[in-house]
Amino acid sequence: MSKFMTALPLCAALALTAPITAFAQTATDTTTSETAAPETAAPETAAEESTTPDKELQPGTSGNASEVESQLSLGEDANKDPELGKPYTKKEIGSWEMRCIKTEEKVDPCQMYQLLADGEGAPVAEFSLFRLPGGGQAKAGATVVVPLETALPAQLTLSVDGGKARRYPYAFCNPVGCYVRMGLTDADIAAFKRGKQAVMTIVPALAPDQEVKVTLSLDGFTASYDEVSVIEQ
C-alpha cells in the first residue's frame, strides 16, 4: 500500500507533463525545419515564414495548456452545502460517522457508518446501520461490505464483548465487495448499547483455515442510534 501511494504522485506528474513534453518536441522540430528553410527559399517566402510560426504556435500552446488544466482540480468551498443527491458526513459521534444523502426534504436521511481495519490498520470492511419502522422482529438493519476474496460458505459471524456469536450469510457480491444484510432485533440493539465492541469474523477464500477478525467500536452507539433515520421499506 505504501509503495503504491508513493508511486501514484509520480504517475500523476508524468501524466501532467506528457502534453508539455510533446509540445516542446513539436516546437523544436518546427523551429529546426523553419531555420533551414531560408537557405533555399526566396526572400518573400522567408519573410512569410518568419511571421507564420508565432501565429501557428499560439493555438498549440493554448490547446496543450487546456489539456493539462483539465486534469487539475481547482478546489471548492469546504463550507459549501452538499449537492443534491450526494452523500456527505453530517458529524461524528464517538467512533461513528453520520453519513447522509442531500435531499430536498427538511431532514436528510442518515445512517451510522464505520470503516473497519485489521490488526495492521488496513481497511477491511464497512459497517452501516439504519433503523426500521416498527411492526417486525428486526428493529434496525445493517449492511456489511467485505473484500471479494472472502469464503462465502463460511458466512460472517458477529459477537459483542465476547458473548455468543451469531452467523449471517452473504447476500450478494459486486465489483466493490461482498455484502451481508443483517436484521437486528431489540436484543441485538440492547447488546450494542451496553457493549464496548463487537468482533466480526471473516474467512479468506485463499486461506479457509484462517480467520480475519475486525473490531467494531461501540463508542457513541447509543447517541448515534438515537439520531439515525428510519428507512421505510
pLDDT tens digit sequence for 132-163 = 998 899 999 999 999 999 999 999 999 999 99
What SS3 class is residue 132? coil
- Domain containing residue 136: 87-227
Are 123 and 216 contained in the same domain?
Answer: yes
The mean of the pLDDT values for the chain is: 79
Record the pTM: 0.66
Of 24-28, 112-116, 211-215, the least confident: 24-28
Residue where one domain finishes, among candidates 21, 41, 69: 69
Are 127 and 211 contained in the same domain?
Answer: yes
Dist CA 37 CA 26 (whole Å): 17
Dist CA 103 CA 109 (whole Å): 8
CB atoms within 10 A of CB 97: 19
Of 188, 183, 186, 194, residue with least CA distance to 222: 194
Are 46 and 108 contained in the same domain?
Answer: no
Are 94 and 18 contained in the same domain?
Answer: no
pLDDT at residue 96, rounded to an integer: 98
Of 182, 184, 185, residue with least CA distance to 169: 182
Q: Is the pLDDT of residue 21 over 80?
A: no
pLDDT at residue 38, rounded to an integer: 44
pLDDT tens digit sequence for 49-102 = 444 444 444 555 555 777 787 888 887 777 777 888 899 999 999 999 999 999
Provide mean pLDDT across the span 111-122. 92
* 135 domain-assigned: yes
pLDDT band at 22 (very low <50, low <70, confident <90, very high): very low
pLDDT at residue 110, rounded to an integer: 96
Q: Is the pLDDT of residue 124 over 80?
A: yes
Are 32 and 113 contained in the same domain?
Answer: no
Supply the CATH number for residue 97's domain: 2.60.40.1880
Q: Which residues pair with 217 in a beta bridge?
A: 197
pLDDT at residue 206, rounded to an integer: 95
Dist CA 181 CA 145 (whole Å): 9
Are 63 and 93 contained in the same domain?
Answer: no
Give whole-number Cα distances, 197 to 163, 179, 204, 219, in Å: 11, 21, 22, 8
Q: What angle do CA 189, 136, 221 make, to 5 degrees?
A: 20
Provide mean pLDDT across the span 107-128. 93
pLDDT at residue 63, rounded to an integer: 59
Domain count, the chain: 2
